Structure 1
Amino acid sequence: MRIRLWVGVFGFLMLFLSQAAAAAEQKQTDAPADAVLPEIEEFRLIHAETMTLTRQKSKPQVFEGDVDIIMTDEAGNETQIQAQKITIYYKQDQKKLDRMEAEGQVKIKRAGTVATTELAVYRGDSDLIELLIDPHVKDARGEVIANKISIFMKTDEVVATGNVRGLLHPKTFEQASK
């Protein structure tokens, strides 16, 4: 008798759970295809040989081995960052990027500009990339080498400080001013 009771309860639960799963699946298919994810900096693509994630909010995400990340800003502009190791830190209470550190053969591409360095730090609050070890920036207007180069993402302004050396193409500046 007890076995029949348990079989009945089990059967009822299976029937109930299958209907609940079907209803949840129906809700997912009814959602619009362009459903918006929670507010967070958008990474379109992340590729790496290894990835380390933890459930602890204070711990960063670590990507290693030929890391390739493509980020998009609110205007849809893409920034590609390639490095041997990228560590991503998030703000504790928000789903916002605090900072991102890229180490080892770093290459950053954005709007026709290519920057290389051994260490780059992206600061989410100021939307700034700092190139800190052997930085070099090149675009159609010329190229710059310095001790430190800062790239302001919102304005695409490049500021070089400390032992600045560069090569400028005057014709490109003339064309831009017309």
Structure 2
Amino acid sequence: MTNLHDLPRPGDQFHVLVSGFGLHTKAHGFTGSAVILDRGATVAITQDMLDAAVDRFGNPGWPAILHDPEAQAERWGEQMIAPGPWPADADPWIYGDRRWETDRDTARRAAWAIADDRERATALAAVETRFGPARSTSKTTAIYRPGQHPTERAAAQQERDFAAARARGER
């Protein structure tokens, strides 16, 4: 049972931990308005949001589990939101996601725009430290049966050549 004292109030804030969190901003019968939020977004709660979250049985919806990570994991498979503003020292991206790629590329372009070689090298090292290494830009999609890869065939041919040379007494 939800304690009504734990429910957020208009003016409270929460932040989004996982991109794709959907939130109804107004309740207008069948067609309300909604937004899809990205990781790192800080949302100021309005009365319209709280009203829109109430289901047809009068249950408060997401506001009831804002402060309960376990209940969120049970409902959505992971914690999606947390109370308060986005932490100032946290990055709004996760390694490899779309936001990470965009922010890393922006930082690299800024570093490469530096004219001084030493400053540029320092800036590029800082990008690598903050964002980590770039993702691979290539992928091998060829599938070979055992013994059919070109290097395996070449190694097998080399073994046959050595065996033939030994048989002839050359090795």
- Flag the structure with higher strand content: 1
- TM-score, length basis structure 1: 0.18
- TM-score, length basis structure 2: 0.18
Higher relative contact order (CA 8 A, sep 6+): 2
Q: Which structure: larger Rg?
A: 2
